[in-house]
Structure 1
C-alpha cells in the first residue's frame, strides 16, 4: 500500500533528518519508507479516538504511523484529572496519530483541542533542526499552488515523492508547546518554510495542567504564511523526543475540527 504524502512532512516537522538534495548534502541519511504501526490501531484506541476527536470525516479512522529506525510509543486511552485522554509515554521516540481527508476538506474554520504534559524535552529548540522536539503538536496540512514554491521546496517534494509515493503538502500549520519561544511566536521549520509552527504554550509554568485552546485556523494560517489556506488534507497529533533523547508523558484531550460553515 502506498504511504501517504504526509509522511515526509511529518519527518520534516519533527524528526532528526535533513534530506540530501541534488547538489548538496544533508546531515543524515534519509529514513526508510514510513509505515503504519504493525497490527494497526487497537480497537480500544480506535474507539477512544472516535469519541475524543470530532472532525467532518467521522467515518475515516485515525491511524498510528511509525518510522523505521525510530522508536514508536503507543497512544493509550486513559483518564487523567477527570478527563478522557490519549497518553503517550515518550522515550527518545516519535509517536504520530493521523486522520487523512480524501477528498480534502474545503474552508476549514476552527479547531479546538486540549493537551497536557509532565515535562519538556531537554534542551529542545524548534528553530534548530537537531533539537526540534516538542512534547505535543497538532498538525494541519493543506493543498495549494506549488508554483509559488522555491527550487529547494520542489526538490524536497520530489524527495517526498520518491520516498513515499506522493508529493510534500503545500503547507503545514503546526500548533506546538515550545521550550524556548513565547506564545504567539511563529517558528519557521529549519528544513523547509512550508512547515510553520505557532507556539501556544511555552516553558514550564503550565506543566501538569490541562491547556485548552480554540483557534481560528484561517487566521493562524494567514499569520504564519501570509495567505489564505487551501483545502485541508490531514490532521495529526505528534509527540517527539527523538532529537533530544528525552523522556516525558503527554496527554491529548478532546479535539474538534469545524468547517467555516459550521462556525457560529
Structure 2
C-alpha cells in the first residue's frame, strides 16, 4: 500500500490522558474515537466487531484492498512509551515482500504516527506481522523510506491462528530507527491490507493501550 497518503490524514489534534490509556476498547464493544481512512482508488478493507469467547475483538478482512482505522491522540512518548496490544492472523502473504512495493502487504499492522509542521516531515513507526522479514528486524517502507520504518514484531505463519500479546517501547524504537528524538505522537492506526499482492487476509485485533510502564 502507498503509505504516504495514510500519514497525511493522520495529522490531527488529540487529547491528554492518565498513566494508562486504553486506545482500543474493542473488548467492550467500544469503537469511539476510531475513524476509517481509505486510500484513493483502493477498495476498502472491512473492520467489524465480532464475539470471540467472552470478549469482543476487532476483525479485519482484506481482499485486494487497503484501508485503515485511525485513533487521533497527542502524547509524549517519553512520558508514555509503552504500547501494548494483542492480535491474531489467519496467515501471511505468499507474495509478501517487505522490501518491494509489489509485496508491501501485511495481514496486520499497528502504526504510531509522529506528525510535524509539514506533512513530508511526518514520521511513523509501523509494527508489522511480517511475511518474510525476520522477527525483530526493521526496514524502511518501500513506498516511504524516509518517513516510515517497519518493525517485524511477528513473522511468518508459525503463530497463525493464535493470539499473540505484544509490548513495545515506542520512544526507544523511534530513536533507534530514526536516529533522533521524536516529536509528540499524533495518532495510533491499524491496518490489514492486500492491495499490492491481490491476496486475501484476515486478522483480529485486541485492545490497545498506552502507558508509562
- Aligned with 1:190: secondary structure? coil
SS of residue paired to 1:257: strand
> Where in structure 1 do 4 or more consecutive aligned residues deviate above 3 Å?
none
Report deviation, 1:110.
0.8
Alignment partner for residue 6 of structure 2, among 7, 10, 23? 10
Distance 2:4 2:141 in 1: 13
Matched, 1:213 2:185: no
TM-score computed with the length of structure 2 as normaliser: 0.81
Asked which structure has the greater CA Rg, the reply is: 1
The one of 152, 156, 162 equivalent to 1:199 is 152
Relative to 1, partners in 2 of residues 1:226 and 1:83: Cα closer, same or farther, differing over 3 Å? farther
Partner residue, 2:91: 119
Alignment partner of 2:186 out of 233, 248, 251:
233
Structure 1 CA distance, aligned partners of 2:40 and 2:5? 16
> Aligned ranges for residues 1-264 of structure 1 at < 5 Å?
8-10=4-6, 51-52=25-26, 61-80=33-52, 82-101=54-73, 104-107=74-77, 108-144=80-116, 167-191=119-143, 192-258=145-211, 263-264=212-213
Instruction: Tell me how far 1:82 sits from its aligned partner.
Output: 4.8
Asked whether the equivalents of residues 142 and 169 of structure 1 are also in contact (C-alpha less than 8 Å), the reply is no
Which structure dedicates a bigger proportion of its chain to helix?
Answer: 1
Cα 1:231–1:131, aligned 2, differ >3 Å: closer, same or farther? Answer: same
Q: CA deviation at 1:120?
A: 1.2
Query: Higher mean Cα deviation, 201-210 or 225-234?
Result: 225-234
CA offset at residue 98 of structure 1?
0.2
User: Could you tell me how far 1:9 is from its partner in structure 2?
Assistant: 4.5
Structure 2's unaligned 5+ residue stretches are 10-22
Write 1 or 2 for the structure with the bigger share of strand: 2
Q: Distance in 1 between matches of 2:109 and 2:154?
A: 11
What's the Cα RMSD here? 2.7
Which stretches in structure 1 are left out of the alignment for 5+ residues?
1-6, 13-33, 35-48, 147-156, 158-166
Rounded to whole Å, the distance in 1 between the matches of 2:202 and 2:163 is 13
Question: TM-score with structure 1 length normalisation?
Answer: 0.66
Which deviates the most, 208-217 or 65-74? 65-74
| 1:127–1:252 Cα change, 3 Å | same
Cα distance in 2 between the residues matched to 1:50 and 1:170: 23
The alpha-carbon distance between structure 1 residues 81 and 179, as it changes in their structure 2 partners (threshold 3 A), is farther
- Which structure has more relative contact order (CA 8 Å, sep 6+)? It is 2
Cα deviation code 1:230-253 (max 9, x no counterpart): 100111001110100011211111
